[in-house]
């Protein structure tokens, strides 16, 4: 649920990355003719992931092939089916029916001087965080987050697949099913075969062919962290042996618990209130009348006066900061400090989210259906990172998830400490925001994969 806004990008990266520990990872460096030509043309100064990220940023939407290479990712995913009343449609085997949907994304590869053609690469599937703009995704080289994935490919020598997720990129005609677990899990899992085909084939990048080394990782931050954990759950349910490990960072894993508490807090001024209409409209796209925005939103926000209404503001044509400002103007509140209950129709709020009605409400059922914090057991390592001072997605989401998954591992006779690794982003009181946490935690996740997912006491002693 983080928007890496272009107006803040340069200043935020300069401040946050300056505070981050430098990562002196020995990335593969294979001399080649291309490498020698590059060295002859300009000074080459990559000594950390941060240097590599700065180089990618310097070129914007047109990084040359000696910095990073990429190719489009076009694939077919499964879209869950619901009937007109918003209830799941089942197939002949009693499972939820799905229909095919064409989705897009991009795969990034290291430059040839980093990894020779024919080298064996790990595949990292990196899920993007909340993005309202439908073109601000990796397939379009839009927004900013693709640069983190591109730099991970270039510096660590990974193949990094970044699917746009449903309702984004090439699927822009549909509304993004924001934090709908099955939709995001299917879109993530279903991109893997096509990403592996691209990796094993010509790579779609200057004719360089690679081999897959058998290591598959999932990573994401915010909604991307939620999507990653939902996909891990699906792969575990399938017994899919391809999964090596994952980094599920600062996600809203506990929708029916920790996130609901935030939804009903009458005092706390939420800094990114556009998340709420995005969530409601995303669930409306999935569940139809079970999440009717005309009943959910406050009447004042549905009034289509000169500057539009909440339905138009959150349709994907505007930036999230613009939507926040519009909500603030309509409610006569600062756009970055709106208590979320102010967005709701009071009658709907009392009926669906407030006690004592909440435990038996339909909204509770929908939220609980999309919790990924428990009810299943991981068998492959997961790295969790979250700032204790995160005000957009409470730290309690991650604490509860680690506790619930740990109980499942222990009940099966396993050791939770060997699988579930929690590394807070800073300490309480450090003031690390949700957005800053992305820049601090994602590089460490890529490094954790690179070093073989060690115990955190070992990882903390490495130079990363």
Give tens-digit pLDDT for 188-243.
Answer: 999 999 999 988 875 555 556 789 999 999 999 999 999 999 999 999 999 999 99
- Cα–Cα distance, 32 to 251 (Å, whole number): 41
348 & 387 share domain: no
Domain count, the chain: 2
Of the three residues 323, 351, 369, the one that is the final residue of a domain is 369
pLDDT of 215: 97
Question: What is the number of alpha carbons within 13 Å of residue 160 lying toward its C-beta?
Answer: 32
261 assigned to some structural domain: no
Distances (CA, A) of 261 to 255, 256, 331, 370, 400: 9, 8, 22, 16, 14
Where does a domain end: 334, 369, 404? 369
Does residue 240 form part of some domain? yes
SS3 163: strand
Identify whether 108 is part of a domain: yes
C-alpha to C-alpha distance for 432 and 422, rounded to whole angstroms: 16
Same domain, 204 and 306: no
Are 311 and 442 within one domain?
A: no
Model confidence pLDDT, tens digit, residues 331-354:
999 999 999 999 999 999 999 999
Q: Would you state the structure tokens that stand for residue 405, as one six-digit string?
A: 């998954």
Q: What are phi and psi of 359, to 5 degrees?
A: -55, -25
315 in a structural domain: yes
Tell whether 187 is covered by a domain: yes
Q: In this structure, are 352 and 416 located in the same domain?
A: no
124 and 180 share one domain = yes
Q: What is the pLDDT of residues 5-43, one digit of tens each?
A: 443 344 333 333 333 334 445 544 444 444 445 444 444
Report the pLDDT value the prediction gives residue 32, as an integer from 0 to 100. Answer: 45
Mean pLDDT of 387-413: 98
Percent of the chain with pLDDT over 90: 79
Summarised one tens digit per residue, pLDDT across range 262-301 is 999 999 999 999 999 999 999 999 999 999 999 999 999 9
- Biggest alpha carbon distance in the chain? 71
SS3 300: helix
Domain boundary residue, one of 369, 401, 433: 369
Q: Note whether 384 and 350 are same-domain residues.
A: no
Q: Please report how many Cα atoms fall inside a 13 Å half-sphere around the Cα of residue 431, on the Cβ side.
A: 2
Shared domain check, 232 and 88: yes
Question: Residue 330 is part of which domain span?
Answer: 268-369
How far is 387 from 431, CA to CA, in rounded Å? Answer: 8
Judgement on whether residues 309 and 248 belong to the same structural domain of the protein: no
**Residues 148 and 205 grouped into a single domain:** yes
Q: If you average pLDDT over every residue of the chain, what do you get?
A: 89
Residue-wise pLDDT tens digits, 33-61: 444 454 444 445 788 899 899 999 999 88
Four-residue CA torsion sign, 178, 1, 358, 334: negative
The order of strands in the sheet holding 69-80 is 69-80, 98-109, 159-163, 120-127, 211-221, 243-249, 382-385, 420-422
- The predicted model gives 396-414 an average pLDDT of 98
Q: Are residues 106 and 234 in the same domain?
A: yes
The reply to whether 263 falls in a domain is no
Q: What global pTM score does this model have?
A: 0.92
The label of the residue with tokens 């990429």 reads 70
């Amino acid at each position: 649920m983080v928007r890496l806004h272009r107006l803040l990008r340069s200043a935020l990266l300069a401040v946050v990355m300056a505070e981050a520990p430098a990562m002196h990872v020995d990335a593969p460096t294979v001399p080649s003719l291309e490498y020698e030509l590059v060295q002859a043309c300009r000074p080459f100064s990559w000594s950390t992931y941060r240097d590599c990220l700065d180089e990618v940023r310097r070129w914007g939407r047109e990084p040359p092939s000696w910095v990073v290479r990429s190719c489009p990712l076009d694939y077919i995913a499964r879209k869950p089916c619901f009937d007109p009343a918003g209830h799941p449609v089942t197939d002949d085997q009693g499972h939820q029916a799905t229909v095919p949907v064409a989705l897009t994304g991009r795969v990034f590869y290291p430059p040839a001087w980093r990894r020779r053609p024919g080298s064996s690469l790990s595949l990292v599937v990196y899920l993007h965080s909340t993005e309202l703009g439908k073109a601000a995704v990796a397939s379009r080289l839009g927004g900013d987050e693709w640069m983190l994935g591109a730099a991970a490919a270039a510096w660590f020598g990974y193949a990094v697949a970044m699917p746009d997720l449903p309702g984004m990129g090439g699927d822009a005609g549909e509304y993004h099913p924001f934090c709908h677990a099955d939709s995001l899990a299917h879109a993530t899992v279903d991109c893997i075969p096509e990403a592996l085909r691209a990796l094993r084939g010509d790579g779609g990048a200057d004719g360089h062919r690679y081999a897959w080394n058998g290591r598959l990782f999932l990573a994401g931050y915010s909604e991307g962290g939620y999507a990653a954990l939902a996909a891990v759950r699906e792969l575990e349910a399938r017994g899919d042996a391809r999964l090596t490990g994952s980094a599920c960072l600062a996600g809203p894993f506990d929708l029916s618990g920790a996130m609901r508490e935030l939804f009903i807090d009458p005092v706390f001024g939420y800094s990114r209130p556009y998340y709420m209409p995005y969530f409601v409209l995303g669930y409306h796209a999935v569940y139809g009348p079970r999440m009717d925005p005309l009943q959910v939103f406050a009447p004042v926000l549905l009034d289509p006066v000169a500057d539009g209404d909440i339905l138009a503001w959150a349709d994907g044509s505007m930036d999230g900061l613009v939507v926040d400002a519009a909500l603030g103007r309509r409610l006569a509140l600062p756009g970055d400090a709106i208590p979320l209950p102010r967005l709701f129709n009071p009658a709907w709020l009392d009926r669906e989210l407030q006690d004592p009605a909440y435990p038996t409400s339909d909204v509770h059922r929908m939220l609980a259906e999309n919790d990924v914090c428990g009810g299943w057991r991981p068998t492959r390592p997961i790295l969790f990172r979250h700032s204790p001072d995160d005000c957009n997605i409470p730290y309690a989401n991650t604490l509860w998830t680690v506790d619930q998954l740990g109980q499942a591992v222990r009940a099966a006779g396993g050791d939770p400490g060997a699988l579930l690794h929690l590394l807070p982003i800073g300490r309480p009181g450090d003031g690390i925001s949700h957005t800053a946490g992305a820049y601090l935690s994602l590089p460490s996740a890529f490094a954790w994969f690179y070093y073989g997912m060690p115990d955190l006491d070992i990882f903390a002693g490495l130079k990363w």
